[in-house]
A and B are shown apart, each in its own frame.
Chain A
Amino acid sequence: NAGVTQTPKFQVLKTGQSMTLQCAQDMNHEYMSWYRQDPGMGLRLIHYSVGAGITDQGEVPNGYNVSRSTTEDFPLRLLSAAPSQTSVYFCASTISVRGRVTGELFFGEGSRLTVL
């Protein structure tokens, strides 16, 4: 059972570089999301999607882009990396019913990003 797969697990970038964090799920979940985890800040929502072709901003969207061309994939793009984007990133998916997250989120293993 693959569940939610994130790649890469570790990445070091230089300021100004761009990169894409990949996220794929094989559970046919409509809802997918990206969180970042920083010490003392908990998990903060970056972007989320309630289905293919539909995305919306979360709490901390600046500096990140997303797209949802298929149900399975939800990549997160860093356009011009900054040291403030050093964090652990988690992708998650779940079933959503009438616009609500009603079930457990299934998380990927996380991607640790360091921006120098």
Chain B
Amino acid sequence: AQKVTQAQTEISVVEKEDVTLDCVYETRDTTYYLFWYKQPPSGELVFLIRRNSFDEQNEISGRYSWNFQKSTSSFNFTITASQVVDSAVYFCALSEALLVNFGNEKLTFGTGTRLTIIP
């Protein structure tokens, strides 16, 4: 069974500090996708990034960066020079399909990390 662990329940940092959100996953599949979503206080879910299991290249998007390491089954998310607008709950998610048949695909979310940026 697939599993996603976000061990950090809550994190608080002072504005402009860097912060890393951890995500560790478990899967038996060789092909899978990893995602990060943001849920700001307004409640909607915002897609941030998708990574497939064959692409271990790290990605940077502005102040956001993601470190994918298959060796440790981790897909960590770093915010550089944090801002108050980064305050949100962040979810890591995993998609796999052990069988290439309809009815076996699922997207599993971690329990989320609540990030608070203190002005």
Contacts and interface: CB of A to CB of B under 8 A. Distances in A.
A63 B4 CA distance: 25
B55 interface: no
A89 B47 CA distance: 17
Nearest to B33: A102
Nearest to B96: A100
A42 B112 contact: yes
A45 B45 contact: no
Interface string A5-42: 00000000000000000000000000101010000111
Nearest to B4: A42
A45 B18 CA distance: 32
Interface of B: 6, 9, 31, 33, 35, 37, 43-45, 47, 50, 52, 91, 93, 95-97, 99-112
Main SS at interface, chain B: loop
Contacts of B43: 88, 109-110
Contacts of A45: 106-108
B101 A42 contact: no
Interface stretch (A49-57, A67-75, A78-86): A49-57
Given A45-B107, A100-B33, A51 B95 contact: no
Contact of B50 (A42, A51, A104, A110): A104
B105 A42 contact: no
Contacts of B107: 33, 45, 101, 105
A99 B95 CA distance: 10
